[in-house]
Amino acid sequence: MAEQIGFLGPGLMGKGIVKNLLKKGYPVTVLAHRDGLNLEDLTQAGAAITKSLAELGGRCDRVCLCLPSSKEVEPAIQGEGGLLGSLKPGAVLIDFSTSYPASTRMLSGRLQEKQIAMLDAPMTGTPVHANAGELNLMIGGDQAIYEKCLPIFQAIAKNIIYAGPISHGNIVKLVNNFLGQLTNAALAEILPLATKAGVDIKALYDAVRVSGGNSRVFEGVVPAVCRRNFNVTFELRLAHKDINYVSMLGREMNLPLPLANSLLSVLDLAKAEGLGRENTNALVKLYERIAQVELRGTI
């Protein structure tokens, strides 16, 4: 019989994960992490719904979290009525959130005291990938526990990377997000300059795409911005959170990170300008306002 899976956080990414677990035959009990979430599609797919963390932990062998940050993960585990008090010895907690590594290690230690294992399993991809079961996972924790939970990961992901001890999944994810958001910020800064200088953006795109400046981020951001497609797949405020975690990790390890800290300042400005709830590629709007231009074109 498949393990009973509890799932806290059926949001933009979490819903697709739940649906794929159900398709693979796992019984899933879902708890909404914020008010107003419509869970009708999940109940129609076969999920059970609870409004109690205690019930989620007491009922399920594996409990998954898919939350915005450590700010939400910590109280869900160790807060009043949290999972620490209801999970049974031998249970496994899987954190799909992008959490702060030191927080993950602390929580893992507390859970271990009660013979509960923890894996950090942050993801990359979009809601489209989540719905298709084609996420990328980078997983930290005890390797034997990872292997025991591998069928769960295979139900929701295309690429599964074991990153090492607990919190290493989050460190790998933060490095990835830093590299991606640094490129996004560079494009947001430079594309309005090219536009103001009168450069044809299609010509620029064609030149860079076959040259050293190309990247997957470049190939995705430039056409989307030119089409004014700012559909939310990753909110800027969450990118800000991740880069803040990178900055914090640098200070924790006494390692200077001038580019990360500069990027954090840019995202500070974007949030102050009201772009926090917009998609990350909307960062370009900050520079468009300054340059008094707007990127448009067919690419």
Phi-psi sector, 292: left (phi>0), alpha (psi -120 to 50), beta: left
Same domain, 153 and 177: no
Q: Which H or E run includes 26?
A: none
28/235 Cα distance (integer angstroms)? 27
Same domain, 160 and 266: no
Helices (H) and strands (E) in the chain, counts: 13, 9
Same domain, 35 and 150: yes
* Domain end (from 112, 137, 165): 165
148/54 Cα distance (integer angstroms)? 24
Vertex 88 angle, CA 84 and 90, to 5°: 110
- Number of domains within the chain: 2
Predicted pLDDT of residue 1:
56
Look at residue 296 and tell me if it is in a domain: no
Same domain, 159 and 183: no
Predicted pLDDT of residue 249:
98
Look up the CATH number of the domain holding residue 262: 1.10.1040.10
| pTM, two decimal places | 0.95
Same domain, 154 and 219: no
Domain residue limits at 26: 5-165
Same domain, 177 and 214: yes
What are the mean pLDDT values of the chain's consecutive 10-residue runs (299 residues total)? 89 96 97 88 96 94 97 96 96 98 98 98 96 98 98 98 98 98 98 97 97 98 98 97 98 98 98 98 98 92
Look at residue 156 and tell me if it is in a domain: yes
Look at residue 298 and tell me if it is in a domain: no
Q: Which H or E run includes 29?
A: strand 28-31
Same domain, 127 and 79: yes
Same domain, 55 and 105: yes
Residues shown for the chain: 299
> Active-site residue 173, yes or no?
yes
181/169 Cα distance (integer angstroms)? 18
Look at residue 100 and tell me if it is in a domain: yes
* Domain end (from 101, 136, 165): 165
Look at residue 264 and tell me if it is in a domain: yes
Same domain, 157 and 179: no
Same domain, 57 and 121: yes
Same domain, 239 and 285: yes
Those residues whose C-beta lies under 8 Å from the C-beta of residue 182, and which sit 6 or more positions away, are: 259, 263
Residue found by looking up tokens 């419509």 in the block: 38
The catalytically annotated residue of 173, 196, 241, 285 is: 173
